[in-house]
Amino acid sequence: MKNVTGIANFHTAPEVLPITQARPLGSTSFLGRYAFCDFALSNLCNSGISQVGLLVKDHQRSILKHLGSMNSWVINTKIGHTHILYNEPGHRDPRLNTDVNNLLENDWLLYDSKSSLFAFVPSHLVCAMDLRPYVSNHQQSERAVTIVASKQRNLKSSWLGSYVLEFDDKGTLVDAVANKGQFSTPKVVSLDTFIINRPSLIDLLRKYAPLYPQSDLFSLIMVAYKEGAISIAVEYYDGFVRSVDSFAHYMDYSLEMLDKHKSDQLFRPDWPVYTLTHDTPPALYGQESEVHNSYVSNGARIEGKVINSIIARNVHIGKGAVIKNSIIFSSVSINEGAMVENVLIDKYSIVERDHVIKGKGKDPIYVAQGAIL
C-alpha cells in the first residue's frame, strides 16, 4: 500500500508502573521474546505498509535499542522506511509532549510523504489486525477519518484511559469519552487506531492544534467532527485484542497466553509477529529440569523447576530453584534452591541461592531491574 503511511503512536500508551518507569510500554518485554510495539509494527508490515513513522513520547533509548537496524519490520529495505519521530520541545515541557505536537515538530514527514492516507496505530495494543480492509473501506467511504473500534465488556476494570465512543439512537457517533471506570455496561472502545486523509490531517494540525496546544490527536479529530468540519466512519474489529493498563493486567494478559485457545487467536500462521532477533542459542534444559505450562525463550538455561511462567532470553535458573506463576525478564539469574512465586523480575537481576520471594495471587511482586535479592 504505497499510498499509506503508518504511524505507530507511543504517546497513547498507558503508564504501567512500576514496569514502565524507565521504558515506554511499547518497548516493554512481552512473552519473553517480544516488545509490545512488535504487534503494531508487524500489523503495519503484514498489511503491506512500508513507510512507517514512530511517534516517540519518551525513553527513546529503550525504543532505539529494541528497533536495532529497524529492518525487522520492513518488507523491502530500500522502499520501506521506519523513521523515529521524537518531540524535543515535549521533552522540555511534558504538558506539550503530545502526539499532535510531535507531528508538528516532525512535519517534514507530511511534506516528504507522498501518501494520501495516514494509518495511526497505538504502540501498545496486543492484536493481529489486518488494516487492509479498513483502508479499502475508508477509500470507498469518502470520509475524512475511519476509527477502528471494538465492543468491550468490563470497562470498570479494563481499557482504562481509552476512549469510549458514544452513539445516538440512529447509531451516529456523537462523542468520545475517556474511560475512567465509569461504565458498567459493554461499550464501543476506540482502539486508538484510525485512518485519516492527508488534507484532513494537515487541516487539524494547522487549524485546530494551535487552539488546543495540549490536546491529543484523537481529541482534535473529535473536536473537528463535532464542529462538522470532518466526517468520521466507525469500523469494528472483532478479533483478539488486549490493552495493558496496569501491572496486574500485564501479569494477567501475559500469563493468559499460556492458554492455547488464547494464543492461537494472536499468533496465526498467516500473520507473523516480527521482532528483533539476537542470535542466542536454543534453550538448554538440565537433567533435573522440570518445566510445565511455560514459555521459554532462546538463550535460557533451565536446571530447576518452572511452572506456569514466562522465561525470557539469557535467563539462568539454577538446580533446585522453583519458579511459579512468574515472569522473568531477560538476563536474570535465579540461583540454586531459590523460590520465586507470583513475581515479575525485571532485567539483569539476581536472586541469590535459597532466597524465597512470593507475591500473593492478585498482588504480584515487582523486582526492579538490576536488583540483587
Partner 1 sequence: MAIKIAAMILAGGKGTRLGALTKKLAKPAVSYGGKYRIIDFPLSNCANSGITHVGVLTQYESSALNSYIGNGKNWGLNGVNCLTSVLSPKQTEQGSNWYAGTADAIYQNLDWLDELDPEYVLILSGDHIYATTFDEMLEQHIKNKADCTVAVREVPLAEASRFGICETDERNFIIGFKEKPKQPKGTLASMGIYIFTYKTLKKYLKADAVKEKTDHDFGKDIIPSMIAREKRLLAYRYGGYWKDVGTISSLHEANMDLLLSGDPEIDLYSIQNTAHIYSEDNHCQPQYIGPDAVVRDCLINQGAVIRGTVDHCVISSDVIVDEGAECYNTVLMNGCHVRAGAKVYDCLVAPNEIVHKDEEVNASRDGIALFAGGRTVK
Contacts to partner 1 by CB under 8 A: 31-33, 258, 263, 267, 272-275, 277-279, 281-298, 301, 303, 306, 310
User: How far is 46 from 271, CA to CA, in rounded Å?
Assistant: 7
> Between 144 and 306, whose beta carbon lies closer to partner 1?
306
As measured in angstroms, the least distance from the Cβ of 295 to partner 1 is 4
Cβ–Cβ under 8 Å, residues 132 and 48? yes
Neighbours of 79 (CB within 10 A): 10
Q: How far is CA 334 from the centre of its chain?
A: 28
> Between 75 and 174, whose beta carbon lies closer to partner 1?
75
> Between 288 and 363, whose beta carbon lies closer to partner 1?
288
Residues belonging to the chain: 373
> Between 68 and 186, whose beta carbon lies closer to partner 1?
68
> Between 213 and 272, whose beta carbon lies closer to partner 1?
272
> Between 79 and 177, whose beta carbon lies closer to partner 1?
79
C-alpha cell at 148: 477502528
As measured in angstroms, the least distance from the Cβ of 347 to partner 1 is 16
As measured in angstroms, the least distance from the Cβ of 318 to partner 1 is 12
As measured in angstroms, the least distance from the Cβ of 278 to partner 1 is 7
As measured in angstroms, the least distance from the Cβ of 289 to partner 1 is 6
Contacts of 251-258 with CB under 8 Å at 24 or more apart are 251/327, 251/344, 251/364, 253/126, 254/30, 254/31, 254/310, 254/327, 255/308, 255/309, 255/310, 255/325, 255/327, 257/31, 257/295, 257/310, 258/293, 258/294, 258/295, 258/308, 258/310
What 3-state class would DSSP assign to 143?
coil
User: How far is 209 from 116, CA to CA, in rounded Å?
Assistant: 20
As measured in angstroms, the least distance from the Cβ of 260 to partner 1 is 8
